[in-house]
């Protein structure tokens, strides 16, 4: 009988089938971008100008070591020459700045990435600003941030730029949509909001002092969560059909059935039942950051 628990008419089955968001496969989108990068790298190498990325790691932070290893591996796979410079945590700020200056002057290097965080005695802003604007493939410098804010071409921060590619991969036009970005960091939230604005979305930025986050999220056709806190967004906060991009990287706590496993800022299960499109964690935004880093490096190398 219709309405009786456990017994579904064909109509309700259809409705239930529709109540699952389409998965945005970041691994597949990143793979396709990396394949394009490999083609571009091969073309440049054939002309005697192999693209080169320098990655500088200071100290022994284990997470940073993993990120750096993944970046070097991605370079190798794409035919981009990588130069890894590893230093003890005791490296002085002056010595690091001298290394950045040397890499700025090295014609084989088209992109420079200094892995964050740096040891406390080194001023990260000073180091980022020391990187030549022509080689700022992380897009973190004031010049790159200013270009983005002014709507000019320049290196775009890799994670939000990757999120834009994921939104574009849905085929849903961004123009005229209401986007809500949760988080306002200089590396993710703010550049994300500016990129969406540049793409003609109407943008709301929420943060820790936002009152009634749910009321804002409920208005959104596009939600980007970049907070670093599990379950910040749940299905009941979403507008049906919304595009949900989950940047967060968190771990399920002790006592959870998936304790210790990676999760995002969005409660995937409840959001999946309401959203139109959704990124999983892992396999959503994560793979895009390195893909966009390589893409920025190729843009730099192609400029000569």
Q: Contact residues for ligand NAP (CB under 6 A)?
A: 159, 182-185, 187-189, 206-210, 213, 226-229, 232, 247-250, 285-286, 289
Listed residue (256, 302, 258) closest to 280, CA to CA: 258
Q: Rounded distance, CA 55 to CA 68, Å?
A: 7
Size of the chain in residues: 304
Q: Where are the alpha helices (DSSP H) in the chain?
A: 10-18, 26-46, 62-78, 93-105, 124-130, 142-149, 158-169, 189-198, 213-217, 268-272, 286-303
Q: How far is the CB of 219 from ligand NAP (least distance, A)?
A: 15
Residue with tokens 């990588």: 82
Q: How far is the CB of 166 from ligand NAP (least distance, A)?
A: 11
Listed residue (30, 105, 119) closest to 70, CA to CA: 30
In the complex with ligand NAP, the residue whose CB is nearer, 44 or 233, is: 233
In the complex with ligand NAP, the residue whose CB is nearer, 133 or 283, is: 283
In the complex with ligand NAP, the residue whose CB is nearer, 178 or 184, is: 184
In the complex with ligand NAP, the residue whose CB is nearer, 182 or 275, is: 182
Q: Rounded distance, CA 96 to CA 108, Å?
A: 19
Q: How far is the CB of 116 from ligand NAP (least distance, A)?
A: 10
Residues classed as catalytic = 71, 115, 138
> Degrees (nearest 5) of the Cα angle 117, 58, 98?
110
Decide if 21 contacts 277 (C-beta within 8 A).
yes
Q: How far is the CB of 264 from ligand NAP (least distance, A)?
A: 8
């Amino acid at each position: 009988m219709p309405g009786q628990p456990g017994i579904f008419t064909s109509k309700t089955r259809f409705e239930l089938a529709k109540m699952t968001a389409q998965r945005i496969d970041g691994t597949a989108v990143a793979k396709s971008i990396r394949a394009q990068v490999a083609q571009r790298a091969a073309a440049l190498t054939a002309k005697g100008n192999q693209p080169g990325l320098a990655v500088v790691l200071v100290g022994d932070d284990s997470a940073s070591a993993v990120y750096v290893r993944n970046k070097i591996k991605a370079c190798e796979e794409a035919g981009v020459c990588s130069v890894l410079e590893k230093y003890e945590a005791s490296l002085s700020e002056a010595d690091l700045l001298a290394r950045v200056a040397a890499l700025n002057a090295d014609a084989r290097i088209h992109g420079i990435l200094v892995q964050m965080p740096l040891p406390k005695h080194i001023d990260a802003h000073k180091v980022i600003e020391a990187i030549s604007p022509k080689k700022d493939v992380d897009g973190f410098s004031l010049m790159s941030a200013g270009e983005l804010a002014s709507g000019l071409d320049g290196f775009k921060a890799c994670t939000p730029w990757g999120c834009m590619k994921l939104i574009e991969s849905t085929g849903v036009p961004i123009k005229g949509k209401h986007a809500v970005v949760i988080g306002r960091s200089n590396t993710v939230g703010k550049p994300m909001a500016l990129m969406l604005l540049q793409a003609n979305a109407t943008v709301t930025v929420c943060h820790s002092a936002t009152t009634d986050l749910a009321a804002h999220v409920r208005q959104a056709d596009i939600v980007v969560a970049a907070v670093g806190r599990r379950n910040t967004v749940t299905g009941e906060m979403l507008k049906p059909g919304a595009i949900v991009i989950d940047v967060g990287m968190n771990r399920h706590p002790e006592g959870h059935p998936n304790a210790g496993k990676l999760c995002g800022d969005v409660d995937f299960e409840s959001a999946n039942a309401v959203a139109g499109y959704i990124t999983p964690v892992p396999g959503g935004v994560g793979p895009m950051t390195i893909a966009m880093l390589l893409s920025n490096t190729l843009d730099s190398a192609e400029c000569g």
